[in-house]
Copies of this chain bind each other. A is one copy, B any other.
Amino acid sequence: MKDFTIVGGGLVGALQSVFLAQRGFNVHLFERRPDLRTADIYQGRSINLAVSNRAWKALRKVGAEETIRQIAIPMYKRTMHDTKGNLSFQPYGKEGEAIYSVSRGELNKTLLQIADTYENTNMHFNARCTDVDLDNKKISFVNDETEEKSTQSYQYLIGTDGAFSAVRHRLMFNDRFTYSQTYIEHGYKELHIEPNEDGSHKMDPNTLHIWPREDFMLIALPNIDGSFTCTLFFPWEGKVSFQSIKTEPEIISFFQVYFPDIIPYIPDFVDQYLNHPNSSLATFRCYPWHYKDSVVLMGDAAHGVVPFYGQGMNAGFEDCFVFDQMLDEYANRFEYFFEAFGKSRKPNADAVAELALRNFIEMRDLTGDPAFLLQKKIEGWFYQKHPDKWVPLYSMVTFSDFSYEYALQKGDYQNAIMAQVMKIPDLANKWDSKEVEEKILHLLSAT
Contact = CB atoms under 8 A, between A and B. Distances in A.
Interface in A173-214: 175-183
A183 B174 CA distance: 11
Nearest to A179: B181
B183 A177 contact: yes
Interface of A: 172, 175-183, 236, 280, 282
A315 B180 CA distance: 22
Contacts of A181: 172, 177-180
A176 B182 contact: no
A183 B180 CA distance: 11
Copies of the protein in its oligomer? 2
Contacts of A280: 175-176
B182 A180 contact: yes
Contacts of A172: 181
Nearest to A278: B175
A182 B178 CA distance: 5
A179 B182 CA distance: 6
A159 to B, nearest CB: 18
Given A175-B183, A176-B280, A180-B181, 10 more contacts: A172-B181, A176-B183, A176-B236, A176-B282, A177-B181, A177-B183, A178-B180, A178-B282, A179-B179, A180-B182
Contact of A178 (B176, B178, B183): B183
Closest 4 CB pairs of A and B: A180-B180, A176-B183, A176-B280, A178-B182
8 contacts: A172-B181, A175-B183, A176-B236, A177-B181, A178-B181, A179-B179, A179-B181, A180-B181
A183 B172 CA distance: 12
A245 to B, nearest CB: 18
Contacts of A236: 176
Nearest to A180: B180
Contacts of A182: 178, 180
Contacts of A282: 176, 178
A66 B183 CA distance: 45
Contacts of A177: 181, 183
A180 B179 CA distance: 5
Nearest to A183: B176
Nearest to A185: B176
A177 B280 CA distance: 10
Contacts of A179: 179-181
A178 B178 CA distance: 14
